[in-house]
């Protein structure tokens, strides 16, 4: 099993121009990992179309590809939405970079039943392009959808070119137990985000909070073992979503859970509220320069913790 790193694991460094894609690729190699997953979704101080990339020009993309190949890393791409207008440019970029998997998701911001209903037809329309590029599309359970909703779309498309992107933590926002979600998605899975979560409270409202792998409430041992035994993947991508918090996106019980127990047990926040409140973790610069500095260092430290935890799992099960 090979391990890769998703650029979200260094989102504060990208947002504040302390890292670009070339530095990220080199950093991934220095950390002893095997691949990169590049997020081409816009964010603070990132390209308005291409996220962590600066351009879709071939000369630029070939420089990125040469750097990836220099360090003998695999490449995957993260994009969003299911319509051809959104996916075609991402697939073109993936083809130029030598990526063989592209992650996408249906909804952004909140659950959208209309987008869900359109997704099978939209994804069927992109299959010829997937065949042309020999790239597989992995549909993610992206904070809003249960595993069964993702599987329903995949089975409706009915193509070997469209499978699942199994994020082992996102099911919690839809009130689905992480282990149960991984069990369901594993046979369909082409790509992953491996992470850890806890539930904490922001102003009396429970929220899902990212923490370094091994420091949260998700049974990462079981999730790793299930992916190893029941999925066709050869790569696992670390998405160290820390510091980060998200609201629950669906009503209690949607994914089968309705109590704050097990993986949903409420725990103390990782940072003092006098420094920053949970839903402000992702953009700490809005709170103070001190918060930004402390959370940036925490992200770097947490990344190392996450990598060590994943290699411990590899040693245990591989």
Distance (Å, whole) CA 113 – CA 149: 10
CA 81, 139, 245, 171 torsion-angle sign: positive
- CA-derived radius of gyration, the chain: 18
Question: 45-63: per-residue pLDDT in tens?
Answer: 999 999 999 999 999 999 9
Distance (Å, whole) CA 233 – CA 235: 6
What is the CATH number that goes with domain 2-317?
3.20.20.150
User: What pLDDT score was predicted for residue 108?
Assistant: 87
For the chain, which ranges sit under pLDDT 70? Answer: none
Distance (Å, whole) CA 164 – CA 106: 12
Average pLDDT, the chain: 98
Strands 196-202 and 162-167: unpaired
Model pTM score: 0.97
Q: Which helix (H) or strand (E) holds 227?
A: helix 220-230
Residue 158, by phi and psi: left (phi above 0), alpha (psi -120 to 50) or beta? left
The structural domains of the chain, with segments of one domain joined by +, span 2-317
User: What pLDDT score was predicted for residue 110?
Assistant: 87
Which of 10, 44, 42 shows the shortest CA–CA distance to 24? 10
User: What pLDDT score was predicted for residue 296?
Assistant: 98
């Amino acid at each position: 099993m090979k391990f890769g790193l998703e650029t979200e694991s260094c989102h504060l460094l990208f947002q504040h121009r302390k890292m670009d894609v070339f530095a990220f690729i080199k950093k991934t190699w220095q950390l002893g990992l095997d691949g990169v997953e590049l997020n081409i979704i816009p964010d603070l101080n990132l390209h308005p179309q291409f996220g962590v990339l600066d351009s879709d020009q071939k000369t630029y993309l070939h420089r990125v590809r040469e750097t990836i190949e220099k360090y003998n890393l695999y490449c995957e791409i993260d994009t969003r939405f299911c319509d051809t207008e959104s996916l075609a440019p991402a697939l073109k970029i993936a083809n130029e970079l030598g990526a063989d998997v592209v992650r996408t998701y249906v909804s952004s911001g909140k659950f959208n039943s209309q987008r869900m209903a359109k997704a099978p037809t939209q994804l069927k329309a992109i299959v010829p392009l997937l065949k042309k590029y020999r790239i597989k599309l992995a549909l993610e359970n992206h904070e809003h959808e249960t595993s069964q909703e993702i599987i329903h779309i995949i089975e409706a498309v009915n193509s070997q070119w469209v499978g699942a992107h199994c994020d082992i933590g996102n099911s919690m926002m839809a009130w689905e137990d992480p282990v149960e979600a991984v069990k369901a998605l594993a046979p369909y899975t082409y790509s992953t985000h491996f992470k850890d979560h806890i539930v904490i409270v922001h102003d009396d409202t429970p929220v899902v909070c990212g923490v370094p792998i091994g420091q949260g409430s998700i049974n990462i041992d079981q999730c790793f073992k299930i992916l190893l035994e029941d999925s066709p993947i050869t790569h696992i991508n670390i998405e160290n979503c820390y510091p980060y918090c998200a609201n629950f996106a669906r009503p209690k019980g949607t994914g089968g859970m309705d109590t704050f127990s097990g993986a949903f047990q409420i725990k103390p926040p990782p940072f003092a509220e006098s420094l920053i409140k949970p839903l402000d973790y992702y953009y700490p610069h809005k709170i103070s320069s001190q918060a930004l500095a402390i959370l940036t260092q925490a992200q770097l430290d947490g990344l190392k913790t996450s990598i060590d935890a994943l290699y411990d799992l590899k040693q245990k099960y591989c």
